[in-house]
């Protein structure tokens, strides 16, 4: 699992750097993204889903989060399903903008 630290960066840079890193990953490898920018918790999973990745969100510290991206097994998910899953995960996190 590779890691990408985008703490201290604001949109659109965390998402852009993540997409760039995902495009270079071998198909069997995942990516952990560390961020402290709340909007990235939505933009990164959404863009990653377009590339066939699923996202898991978790708190990594005060006002810091880890987004774990793994290649989706099976067919690509519908955008509505990706957003529903993302909203469920976001509801469990402590986010103050």
Residue 4 near residue 61 (C-beta atoms within 8 A): no
- Tell me the average pLDDT across 7-28: 95
pLDDT score of 94 more than 80: no
Among residues 48, 38, 41, which one has the least CA distance to residue 79?
48
| Residues belonging to the chain | 97
Q: Which domains are seen in the chain, by residue range?
A: 2-91 (3.30.110.40)
What residues are annotated to the active site? 11
Whether the upstream peptide bond of residue 56 has omega within 30° of 0, thus cis, is no
pLDDT score of 63 more than 80: yes
Structure tokens at 45: 């999973």
Q: Which of the pair, 83 or 23, is modelled with greater confidence?
A: 23
Phi, psi dihedrals of residue 15, rounded to the nearest 5°: -65, -45
């Amino acid at each position: 699992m590779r890691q990408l630290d985008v703490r201290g960066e604001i949109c659109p840079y965390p998402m852009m750097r993540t997409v760039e890193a995902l495009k270079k990953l071998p198909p069997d490898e995942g990516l952990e993204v560390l961020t402290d920018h709340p909007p990235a918790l939505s933009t990164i999973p959404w863009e990653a889903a377009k590339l066939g990745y699923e996202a898991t969100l978790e708190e990594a510290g005060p006002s810091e989060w880890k987004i774990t991206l793994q290649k989706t097994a099976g067919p690509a998910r519908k955008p509505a399903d990706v957003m529903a899953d993302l909203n469920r995960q976001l509801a469990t996190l402590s986010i103050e903008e």
